[in-house]
A and B are shown apart, each in its own frame.
Chain A
Amino acid sequence: MTDPLSRPPKKDPQVRTRVPTRPSHFRSRAALGIAAAAAEGRFMLQVCEDCGAVQYPPRDACASCLSVALPWRDVSPKGRLIAETTVRTSTSIYFRERTPWRIGTIKLEAGPSVMAHVHGDLAPDGEARVVSMLDKSGQGVLFAIPPDMTPNMEDDPQMREMTCDPKFRRVLITDARNENAPALAQALADAGASMIFVGEAESWRPYPHRAALAAIPNVDILPMDVTDTASVVELCGEIGGKTDILINNARFVRPGGILDRADVGFAREEMEVNYFGLLRLAQAFGPAMRGRGADGDNSAAAWVNILSVNAWSNSPDYGLFSASSAAALSLSQNLRADLWDGGVRVLNVFTGPTEDEWHQPLPPPKVAPAAIARALVAGLKDGLEDVYVGDVAKDLIDRWRAGPKILEREMMENRGASS
């Protein structure tokens, strides 16, 4: 078993905050497939289309038959730890600061032997499961873990470097008024978040779930409106230095496409909240979070956006909301690049139609707040970058990958299916 993580001490104000360093992030183009798989929590390797040989390390031509047809496929993660060592010192600044560090070789049932970081609970010569993970450089690495859960497994120091576990971390949820705020706060409290700040816009206007939200342990409701720059800057001034995980759940949505609406009013609101809101938050909180990526056990770890899956392909029934979501998706990629240096991950949680008043006439399945909260916390614990919640979102991204133009036609055909 792993020693349980203890509550981090209060920060010593005389000690310089450790500057984030990164493990090597240089990869060949072929090797980036590991990161792409890790971003979604999949274990994939190249598999030769001609001879079926599973490849490792990633390459441009099959090691057995020289075929260049090497698509990435999900493969069995099962294997055995056949060799290991513990690194005591390193020329890499990042690893020097984190030794001892356990690494090893795992013989996969799928064929190849792979180099991996090794979890402390994995027994020598033991059965292993290999997972793809993103390290602090944002690149894909392989990590060998015990095949079954062990006590406090997530607290393994090497593992915690890869994940964004909310345990003992301080979280900001940006929009208390969103119906999903209580479910998010509860899931984070259950996951061990030590403080849960929730931004509240327009306290002069009541909303139904405020009491439920305020009753959740460790929740503090503080004034902030993502459409009001001054309020974002002010809250960041107060808590920006201890915001370890920022969850942007602010959203403005109205049904309708271009010709359903007579003006730019709601479209402007959608951009104000969904796009400019994210931008305001990023410009305020981003620098402090990037600077605190290595600040101990409760370092800044992740930025989470909850986005419509229609960011990938426009749903004409919600055409203008989809457009604002696409803008937010693009902005999130910019933010990911900007936070990369600090080892702070950007996790996008994509959802289909949600269970709320603005999707009321749509048929099920719709995504409930608790489902978003579950998937979001699981994504943080696994250190992911892209999570798709619910059947609609999963189906849409599969179809997008198969052919965006075909999907665009299908979205047009499906118009009005909701009514």
Chain B
Amino acid sequence: MNQQSGAPLLGELALSIASGAIRVVDLTHTLDPDFPVIILPPEFGQCARFRMEEISAYDHRGPAWKWHNFTCSEHTGTHFDAPAHWISGRDLPNNSVDTIPVEQFIGPACVIDCSQGAAADEDFELTPEVIQAWEAEHGEIPAGAWVLMRTDWSRRRGAEYLNMREDGPHSPGPTPEGIRFLIEQRDIRGFGTETVGTDAGQGNHYTPPFPAHFYLHGAGKLGLQCLNNLWELPPTGAMLIATPLKIKQGTGSPLRVIALVG
């Protein structure tokens, strides 16, 4: 779409946002020191929690201003996964957050509602059958779509969120076949979840382990996790905007994810 034909459309969009005809929905959790992060076996390196230290607060350390230093991982809170995050995507061109073309960050959203399934089965699987049943109702997923797996998992609090047990965490996610269907048959832009990762809690036990990470990033696709408020999105028709921080060779980034809803 060239500038001449796009400009009126964009102007109309901007006015619609200003008038409230198009709503902006925040799909982001607050960066909170107590928000869960992924837990790996303790001998592995760990994801840093969000932490904040006051530099000054209108006091002797800085009389008229308040500011903080914060620390976290690229993969803390609501965050973005670049292809470079996974070994399968390590050799792709433009695979880090600073080199991914910016137009990749914005796209149409398809929201597959798995909330009933996830309520009945904490290990609920997104399979090709589930996807095709959704398509039968809402139409085929277009190429370049963000596909979001709605599970209402973001309503969970405390220990219920990771749902960690002695055999590991239990939370819903895609099967290897499910994620391959989205990539190979539908050529999606990326895949997003409400859980702590794009993979199921027990995703380590699929072949390959963590299939969403493996296949998505191997194909240069993007990941979003710890999303919030997905129940506010329609099944189709929303526009998702997910722009990570421009971190040199970054494999991901905490970010503010928003959706435009008509």
Q: Is the CB of A204 within 8 A of B36?
A: yes
In chain A, residues 236-272, which have Cβ atoms closer than 8 Å to a Cβ of chain B?
254, 263, 265-266, 269
Chain A binding surface, main DSSP class: loop
Tell yes or no: B39 within 8 A of A by CB: yes
Q: Is the CB of B158 within 8 A of A204?
A: yes
**CA separation between A205 and B35, bound complex, in Å?**
11
Q: A210 CB to closest chain B CB, in angstroms?
A: 10
Q: Is the CB of A205 within 8 A of B36?
A: yes
Tell yes or no: A202 within 8 A of B by CB: yes
Tell yes or no: B164 within 8 A of A by CB: yes
Q: Is the CB of B53 within 8 A of A229?
A: yes
Q: Is the CB of A228 within 8 A of B33?
A: yes
Q: Which residues of A sit under 8 angstroms from B43, Cβ to Cβ?
A: 254
Which of B33, B54, B162 is close to A205, meaning CB atoms less than 8 Å apart? B162
Q: Which residues of A sit under 8 angstroms from B162, Cβ to Cβ?
A: 204-205
In chain A, residues 206-221, which have Cβ atoms closer than 8 Å to a Cβ of chain B?
206
Q: Is the CB of B164 within 8 A of A265?
A: no
Which of B52, B54, B159, B165 is close to A204, meaning CB atoms less than 8 Å apart? B159
Q: How many residues from B make CB contacts under 8 Å with A?
A: 18
* Residue ID in chain B nearest A358 by CB atoms: B42
Tell yes or no: A225 within 8 A of B by CB: yes
In chain B, residues 163-212, which have Cβ atoms closer than 8 Å to a Cβ of chain A?
164-165
Tell yes or no: B51 within 8 A of A by CB: yes
**CA separation between A227 and B52, bound complex, in Å?**
10
Tell yes or no: A68 within 8 A of B by CB: no
Residue among B34, B46, B162 with the most chain A CB within 10 A?
Answer: B34
Indicate the size class of the contact surface on chain A.
10 to 19
**CA separation between A206 and B158, bound complex, in Å?**
10
Q: A249 CB to closest chain B CB, in angstroms?
A: 18
In chain B, residues 29-83, which have Cβ atoms closer than 8 Å to a Cβ of chain A?
33-34, 36, 39, 43, 45-46, 49, 51-54
Q: Which residues of A sit under 8 angstroms from B215, Cβ to Cβ?
A: none
Tell yes or no: B153 within 8 A of A by CB: no
Q: Is the CB of A231 within 8 A of B33?
A: yes
Q: Which residues of A sit under 8 angstroms from B146, Cβ to Cβ?
A: none
Binary interface encoding of chain B residues 120-143 relative to chain A, with 1 for a CB under 8 A from any of its CBs, else 0: 000000000000000000000000
Which of A205, A227, A228, A229 is close to B164, meaning CB atoms less than 8 Å apart? A205
Q: Which residues of B sit under 8 angstroms from A205, Cβ to Cβ?
A: 36, 39, 159, 162, 164
Q: Which residues of A sit under 8 angstroms from B164, Cβ to Cβ?
A: 205-206
Binary interface encoding of chain B residues 196-238 relative to chain A, with 1 for a CB under 8 A from any of its CBs, else 0: 0000000000000000000000000000000000000000000
Q: Is the CB of A204 within 8 A of B34?
A: yes
Which of A203, A223, A230, A263 is close to B45, meaning CB atoms less than 8 Å apart? A263
Q: Which residues of B contact A (CB under 8 A)?
A: 33-34, 36, 39, 43, 45-46, 49, 51-54, 158-159, 161-162, 164-165
**A205-B39, A206-B164, A230-B52 are known contacts; what are 17 more A-B pairs with Cβ within 8 Å?**
A202-B34, A202-B49, A204-B158, A204-B161, A204-B162, A205-B159, A205-B164, A206-B159, A223-B34, A225-B33, A225-B34, A227-B49, A228-B34, A229-B51, A263-B45, A265-B45, A265-B46
In order of increasing CB-CB distance, the 9 nearest A-B pairs are: A204-B36, A228-B33, A265-B45, A204-B158, A204-B159, A206-B159, A229-B53, A203-B158, A206-B164
